């Protein structure tokens, strides 16, 4: 927003121009208001910027000077002081360029007084005055709107993203000159186009019908998709774990508009939104390499950027070869998988990013991969196997709700020529089960969109067990040593299995199948 307030005063007999423009900066996904104040006097060339500006902001002087020169304003003829308020908030990036240029124009008397009041201005300047797109336009405009700002000027390259913001007059400009013409009434900036949101359904790579056999793993994939439960697949090489995981998006429901906005905001901060589309219209599928760092996986950096777990928000985070990931990176995943958001603490600020992906992990049962294989011998020593299992076990695995064994695929299944059930049929059941969950939320019975995040208190209401189901789970707790966390997870998964059958009650067979999903990990009850 810009509230230009040219004031005529004098300092040492020289006319003093004061003007301000308002922009914003992001801390995580949170937009903070930045007030850019410029004070100019005619006199020996001088430029000073105060207000905790990072290098890219300080360099704005060079870009702004060149862009203004194109308009015939030479800032070297002035002594200029810039203040970026609030002073205790670090400002980074080049998105403040446009506000700085406009405030300078206001201060030297080139813009009418108050012309930008109530408008947020964002954009990076090229030396020739072209406006370059910036990161994080969507969360910045939403933040401004929440502060009561009702108009904005943004770079044309961010137009599609800006068009997503409702209740705000968003104008797009290609150059600083265009902005000036608009503000002085010589021209009119185009409004950012509002394109109707259409979820992209064409981008799933492949179809589940490609998968032969693997009935249990396919069923686990369907349950995971229906309730957004995290899934671990364990099996020897070549059984189809990677294949199955990559097909998961083909059975997930299309992205809702609200989810698309949330996901777009995160991708926008990371600079990953396609400029022409402006919106993420397909559920993200992120498959980071196992060499990914802790910051790469959960987010980090001096000016915090989202990590893979947040970029996969509302989509899938696939951790292939889970045992090969750095221990520190996997440990860092524990908090987001519990809280569904990541907190990145820095000296002056704390940044939050949402992180609610469906996590799917794939792993071999031992280093050579053939432990428990029906036809091949495992070459690993018990000690090696033990240290491998120790690397895998623990709280992270406990957070993966369903564990499924992916055995070697039978030759007969591969050669039978009978294709598996297509993704479209499975997806229809997943969509129906998710509709049941949404209806429960709309009736006020739950607060969560999917069963994977139901609280223990909510489960008491929505997953009340019948007598046989109750006995079964009691036996599992007593005989198999299910932990309290595992008990809650079994109930959540059982609720999803019941939803797939549209069964209001959670019955014994649902519980039995859910318990199975916690046990196949080398017979270990999580
Ligand atoms: N059940 C299956 N149906 C059809 N093709 C399969 C199946 N399983 C594996 N394949 C074929 O084998 C290839 C290798 O499978 P995939 O990479 O998914 O195995 P994996 O379990 O991930 O092995 P690894 O443990 O070595 O990573 C697949 O690309 C696919 O062509
Ligand atoms: Mg694999």
Which atom of ligand 1 sits closest to the CA of residue 363? Answer: 25
**Is the Cβ atom of 24 under 6 angstroms away from ligand 1?**
no
Question: How far, in whole angstroms, is CA 229 from its chain's centroid?
Answer: 18
- Find the mean pLDDT for residues 315-322: 95
Does the beta carbon of 143 lie inside 6 Å of ligand 1?
no
Place of tokens 């299995």: 497
Does the pLDDT value for residue 289 go beyond 60? yes
- Asked if 171 and 154 count as a contact pair (C-beta separation under 8 A), the reply is yes
User: Which pair of structure tokens corresponds to residue 234?
Assistant: 């364990």
Mean of the per-residue pLDDT values of the chain? 88
Which residue's CA is minimally distant from atom 27 of ligand 1? 237
Q: How do residues 329-369 score in pLDDT, each as one tens digit?
A: 988 998 898 889 999 887 767 889 999 999 999 999 898 88
3-state secondary structure of 509: helix
For tokens 């913001």, the residue is 165
Quick: pLDDT tens for 208-245. Answer: 998 888 889 999 999 999 999 999 999 999 889 999 99
- Looking at 254-363, list the stretches that DSSP marks H as alpha helix, in order from N- to C-terminal side: 257-269, 294-298, 308-311, 327-339
For the cut 80, the answer to whether the pLDDT of residue 322 exceeds it is yes
Measure Cα distances from 162 to 36, 126, 207, 255, 479 in Å.
Answer: 22, 20, 35, 19, 57
Ligand found nearest the CA of 244: 1
Using CA atoms, how far apart are residues 354 and 339, in angstroms rounded to an integer? Answer: 9
CB of 237 sitting under 6 A from ligand 1 = yes
pLDDT above 70: residue 526: no
DSSP three-state, residue 385: helix
pLDDT score for 283: 94
Residue nearest to atom 6 of ligand 1 (CA): 240
Beta strands of 28-130 (E only): which ranges?
A: 30-42, 46-50, 78-85, 119-121, 124-125
Q: Can you give the C-alpha Rg of the chain in angstroms?
A: 28
- Residue 521 Cα, ligand 1 centroid: separation in angstroms? 20
| Number of Cβ atoms within 10 Å of the Cβ of 401 | 28
Q: If pLDDT is split at 50, 70 and 90, which confidence band does 23 have?
A: very high
pLDDT category of residue 521 using cuts at 50, 70 and 90: very low
Model's pTM, two decimal places?
0.89
**Structure tokens given for 518:** 């916690």
Question: Nearest CA to 252 among 227, 232, 225?
Answer: 225
| C-alpha closest to that of 223 among 485, 482, 489, 479 | 489
Could you give the maximum distance between any two Cα atoms of the chain, in Å?
A: 95
**Cβ(409) – ligand 1 distance below 6 Å:** yes
Q: Is the pLDDT of residue 14 over 50?
A: no
Spell out which residues have Cβ within 5 A of ligand 2, the ion: 241-242
Alpha carbon nearest to ligand 1 atom 11, residue: 240
Cβ(420) – ligand 1 distance below 6 Å: no
Could you tell which of 208, 216, 219, 242 is best to mutate to test the pocket of ligand 1, judged by most ligand atoms within 8 Å of the CB? 242
* Strand partners of residue 48: 81
Listed as own residue / partner, the contacts of 388-394 with beta carbons closer than 8 Å and 24 or more positions apart are: 388/323, 389/522, 391/323, 391/327, 392/322, 392/323, 392/363, 393/524
């Amino acid at each position: 927003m810009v509230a230009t307030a040219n004031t005529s005063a004098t300092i040492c007999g020289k006319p003093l121009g004061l003007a301000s423009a308002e922009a914003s900066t992001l801390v995580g996904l949170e937009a903070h208001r930045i007030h850019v104040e410029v004070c100019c006097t005619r006199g020996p060339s001088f430029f000073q910027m105060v207000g905790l500006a990072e290098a890219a902001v300080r360099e704005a002087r060079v870009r702004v000077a060149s862009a203004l020169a194109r308009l015939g304003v030479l800032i070297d003829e002035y002594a200029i002081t810039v203040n970026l308020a609030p002073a205790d908030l670090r400002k980074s990036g080049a998105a403040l360029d446009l506000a700085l240029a406009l405030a300078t124009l206001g201060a030297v008397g080139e813009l009418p007084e108050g012309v930008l009041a109530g408008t947020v201005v964002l954009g990076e300047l090229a030396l020739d005055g072209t406006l370059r797109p910036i990161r994080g336009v969507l969360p910045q405009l939403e933040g401004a709107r929440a502060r009561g700002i009702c108009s904005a000027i943004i770079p044309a390259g961010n137009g599609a993203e800006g068009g997503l913001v409702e209740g705000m007059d968003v104008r797009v400009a290609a150059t600083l000159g265009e902005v000036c013409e608009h503000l002085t009434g010589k021209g009119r900036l185009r409004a950012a186009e509002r394109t109707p949101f259409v979820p992209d359904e064409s981008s799933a790579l492949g179809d589940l019908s490609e998968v032969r056999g693997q009935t249990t793993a396919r069923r686990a994939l369907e349950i995971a998709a229906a309730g957004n439960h995290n899934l671990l697949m364990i099996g020897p090489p070549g059984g189809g774990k990677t294949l199955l995981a990559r097909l998961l998006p083909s059975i997930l429901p299309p992205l809702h508009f609200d989810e698309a906005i949330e996901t777009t905001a995160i991708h926008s901060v990371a600079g990953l939104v396609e400029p022409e589309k402006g919106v993420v219209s397909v559920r993200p599928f992120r498959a980071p390499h196992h060499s990914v760092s802790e910051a790469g996986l959960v987010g980090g950096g001096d000016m915090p950027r989202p990590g893979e777990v947040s970029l996969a928000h509302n989509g899938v985070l696939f951790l292939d070869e889970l045992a090969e990931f750095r221990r520190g990176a996997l440990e860092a995943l524990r908090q987001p998988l519990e809280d569904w958001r990541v907190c990145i603490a820095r000296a002056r600020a704390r940044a939050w990013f949402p992180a609610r992906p469906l996590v799917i992990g794939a792993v071999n049962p031992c280093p050579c991969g053939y432990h428990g294989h029906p036809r091949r011998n495992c070459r690993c020593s018990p000690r090696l196997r033990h240290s491998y299992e120790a690397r895998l076990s623990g709280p992270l695995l406990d957070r993966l709700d369903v564990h499924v064994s992916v055995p070697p695929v039978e030759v007969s299944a591969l050669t039978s020529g009978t294709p598996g059930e297509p993704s479209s049929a499975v997806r229809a059941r997943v969509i129906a089960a998710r509709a049941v969950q949404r209806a429960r939320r709309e009736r006020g019975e739950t607060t969560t969109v999917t069963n994977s995040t139901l609280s223990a208190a909510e489960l008491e209401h929505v997953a009340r067990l019948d007598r046989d189901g109750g006995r079964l789970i009691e036996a599992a707790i007593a005989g198999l040593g299910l932990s309290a966390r595992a008990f809650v997870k079994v109930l959540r998964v059982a609720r999803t299995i019941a939803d797939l059958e549209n069964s209001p009650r959670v019955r014994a067979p649902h519980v039995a199948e859910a318990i199975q999903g916690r046990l196949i990990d080398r017979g270990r009850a999580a």
